[in-house]
Structures are given as C-alpha cells and as structure tokens.
C-alpha cells in the first residue's frame, strides 16, 4: 500500500480523493524570485543542474511557498545526450544547443558506458531531496521520452517543424531505431539510479510525440516507453510511472493500454469529458490547466479550474497544468490556484 500520508501516491494507486493532490510541471523555475537568485549563484543552468546542494534548494523552494503534494527533481531532459557524449550548451535567449546528429553515421560518438560518471551529481540531488522533503510530500524522478530527447539530438536545438528528425526517422527507420535503442538503455539506467536514490515515482516527458504520424507514434513513442516501463518494473514491480505524451490526442488510449504506465498526463487540448468517459476508467490521469490561465489569474482561472475538478472528480486524478509553468507567471496567482483547490471538498 502507498504511504497513507502521501495523497499523490494514493491517487496513483487508484484512489479517488475528495481533494486531488496538486503539483505543477516546472514548479521550480524563473517565475520565483528565489529561483532566479539561486540560478545566479550557480553561474549557468547546467551548473545548477549538476550542483546537488543548489538543485536541491530550487526543488524545495516551491514546496516552502505552496506545500505541493509532490516534488520533482530539478534537472533537464538533455543531461542524457550529454552523458552519452554529445556536446550540449545552453545559450541565453536561444535555449539548448547540441552538436546535431543527422543520420546513423553520427551514432558512433554516443556511448552508454560511463553515463553515471556524468550523472552522478543528479543521483546525489535525489538522495538529498529524499531526506529533505516533508513526510507528506512524494518525490518524482523524471526523464525525457526517447523520441523527445532524440528531437533535440537530431535537430541540434528546439524546432518548429521537426523536419530533420522526421527525415532521419522516416528515411532510415532502422538507423533511427539504433538511436532510440541507445536512449531506451540510457534512460532505463538513469531512472533506475534515481529510484535507488529515493525517487518514489517516475514521469516520462514525451513533449513532442504529437508531431509524429500514427505509425511513427506507435514505433517511436509507444514501443520505447513500453520497453522503459518493462525494464523499470523488472526491478521495481510496484513503481508508479506517469507518461506525459503531449499532443497525443486519440493516441492516449493506446499509449495507456500498450505502455503499461500507471497514469497519463494530459495536455491542455485534451477534451476532459472524453477523458472521464474513456481514459480515466483505465487508471489515474493528471492535468490539465492551460498555463496561460495562471498567467492571467482572476475569475477565469478559477472557473476553468472548477470545471476540471468537476469533470474529473469521479476517478483517480492529480491536478497539474497541461504544460510547464512559464516565467512570466505571478507567484500570487499560483498561491490563489493552490488555495482554491485545497478548499474544495
């Protein structure tokens, strides 16, 4: 049985609670002045990710303000390609920059051997967090889904049309499978170490799965996720795993039933009546307030939050956003949101 003090784990175990647990994707971030101060102390974003003391500190900051029901490790999905041997840098105003791998000939520079030498500080952060978070707070470890991580590895940065990765995947599917296989292995090892260090739940962020065709989604989102889930459960049979396949639409049913994830994260575009009638019957769901409502705040934020709570109240549910909280969000609006949810019964 899950820890009865941790409503987040109870919801993941299938319990329908009168007040849903709440946490927010990117709840530690630039919208908080204390985060910006700690980021300045660290020097760079990657320095912050690899500094266990400071990464632990920024993870704890939103808990002190809002007492969220879960904490999520502060890190980045792109530490995996860096650990595999791909050059990574974050440029101010431009985001991540990687040495692009445009075809199978570039895979030789990647190696799973030794990834823990790079990722060791992150496991130390997880361990510190396991000791530091309140007793009623659950600890989430995470990684990017293989397809999403591969988009950055192939494009070399963020993309609007994902032309290079789709050209690689559709033009040389067997070669692209090799990259996905490398990422499945590295991600499995990474997540197992996080659980060993104290993570109680795992979330897989498949942020860009929605750009794929139906066959592509099955091959490069569902199948890799299924392999990772199986690998993790071979070691930790009861480990709760949340899959967040943003933009998946009607693929969500297949994603849930075929991958074996415990719960499905919902982006803001998913119709909630359909979720309640179809997806929530299969297991817990998490989501899905549009982050823009938390920027604008006011009566519309409360009205939309009330609609979400009402629509999903009859099944296991974790309140979250449909994507990450954004830097321009007012901390006061987050406080108003959390208090409104906590006052429901």
DSSP letters spanning 103-148 = SGGGGGG--STTHHHHHHHHHHHHHHHHHHS-TT-EEEEEEE-HHH
- pLDDT tens, 132-148? 999 999 999 999 999 99
Lookup: tokens for 44: 């760079």
Q: What is the DSSP string of 34-50?
A: HHHHHHHHHSSHHHHHT
Structure tokens at 304: 């939309």
**156, two tokens:** 């070399």
Cβ count within 10 A of residue 308: 23
pLDDT for res 2:
65
Tokens of 132: 């530091």
Q: Express as a percent the part of the chain with pLDDT over 70.
A: 99
Please tell me the predicted confidence (pLDDT) of residue 36. 97
**Choosing from 10, 35, 50, 76, which is the catalytic residue?**
76
307 in Cβ contact with 276 (< 8 Å): no
* Lookup: tokens for 140: 């989430």
Under the banding of pLDDT at 50, 70 and 90, the label for residue 93 is confident
152 catalytic? Reply is yes
30 counts as catalytic: yes
How far apart CA 9 and CA 241 sit, in angstroms, is: 11
Place of tokens 């409104």: 340
Confidence of residue 91 (pLDDT cuts 50, 70, 90): confident
Which contacts qualify for 61-67: CB closer than 8 Å, 24 or more apart? 61/28, 61/32, 61/34, 61/35, 62/24, 62/27, 62/28, 62/32, 63/133, 63/134, 63/137, 65/32, 65/331, 65/334, 65/335, 66/27, 66/334, 66/335, 66/338, 67/134, 67/137, 67/338
> Choosing from 10, 39, 166, 246, which is the catalytic residue?
39
Instruction: Answer yes or no: 39 catalytic.
Output: yes
Structure tokens at 118: 């790079």
Confidence check: pLDDT of 3 > 70: no
At residue 169, the pLDDT reads 97
Instruction: Identify the pLDDT of residue 345.
Output: 60
Q: Calculate the CA 213 to chain-centre distance.
A: 22
Q: Which pLDDT score, from 0 to 100, does residue 1 have?
A: 55
Whole-model pTM? 0.97
Residue 99 has pLDDT above 80, yes or no: yes
Q: How many Å apart are CA 267 and CA 156, to the nearest integer?
A: 25
User: Which helix or strand (DSSP H or E) is residue 204 part of?
Assistant: strand 201-206
How many C-beta atoms surround the C-beta of residue 234 within 10 A?
10
pLDDT at 228 over 70: yes
**Do residues 251 and 211 touch, judged by C-beta distance below 8 A?**
no
Angle between helices 115-132 and 52-66 (to 10 degrees): 40
CA distances from 329 to 32, 210, 326 (A): 9, 26, 6
Q: Which of 35, 152, 190, 293 is catalytic?
A: 152
What is the spatial distance between Cα 104 and Cα 91, in angstroms, rounded to a whole number? 27
> Which of 26, 166, 219, 246 is labelled catalytic?
26
36 as an active site residue: the answer is no
Mean pLDDT of 12-38: 97
Whether 53 is catalytic = no
Please answer whether residues 70 and 63 qualify as being in contact, where contact means their C-beta atoms are separated by less than 8 angstroms: no
**Rounded to whole angstroms, what are the CA distances from 275 to 9, 30, 300, 345?**
21, 31, 22, 21
């Amino acid at each position: 049985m899950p820890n009865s003090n941790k409503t987040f784990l109870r919801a993941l175990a299938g319990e329908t609670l009168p007040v849903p647990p709440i946490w927010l994707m990117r709840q530690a971030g630039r919208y908080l002045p204390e985060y910006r101060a700690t980021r300045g102390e660290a020097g760079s974003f990657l320095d912050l990710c690899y500094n266990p003391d400071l990464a632990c500190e920024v993870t704890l900051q939103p808990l002190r303000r809002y007492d969220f029901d879960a904490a999520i490790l502060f890190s980045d999905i792109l530490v995996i390609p860096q650990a595999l041997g791909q050059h990574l840098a974050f440029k101010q105003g431009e985001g991540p920059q990687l040495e692009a791998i445009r075809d199978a000939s570039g895979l030789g520079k990647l190696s799973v051997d030794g990834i823990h030498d790079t990722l060791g500080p992150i496991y130390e952060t997880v361990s510190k967090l396991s000791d530091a978070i309140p007793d009623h707070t659950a600890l989430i470890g995470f990684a990017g889904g293989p397809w999403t991580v591969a988009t950055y590895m192939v494009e070399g940065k963020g993309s609007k049309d994902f032309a290079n990765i789709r050209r690689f995947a559709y033009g040389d599917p067997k070669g692209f499978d090799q990259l996905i296989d490398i990422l499945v292995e590295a991600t499995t090892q990474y997540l197992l170490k996080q659980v060993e260090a104290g993570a109680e739940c795992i979330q897989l962020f498949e942020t860009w799965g929605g750009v794929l065709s139906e066959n592509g989604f099955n091959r490069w989102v569902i199948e890799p996720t299924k392999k990772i889930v199986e690998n993790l459960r071979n070691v930790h049979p009861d480990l709760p795993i949340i899959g967040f396949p943003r933009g998946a639409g009607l693929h969500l049913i297949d994603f849930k039933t075929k991958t074996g994830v415990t719960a499905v994260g919902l982006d803001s575009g998913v119709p909630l009546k359909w979720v309640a009638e179809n997806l929530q019957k299969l297991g817990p769901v998490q989501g899905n307030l549009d982050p823009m409502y938390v920027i604008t705040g006011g009566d519309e934020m409360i009205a939309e939050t009330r609609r979400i709570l009402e629509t999903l109240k009859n099944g296991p549910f974790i309140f979250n956003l449909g994507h990450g909280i954004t830097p321009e969000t007012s901390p006061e609006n987050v406080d108003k949101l959390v208090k409104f949810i906590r006052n429901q019964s």
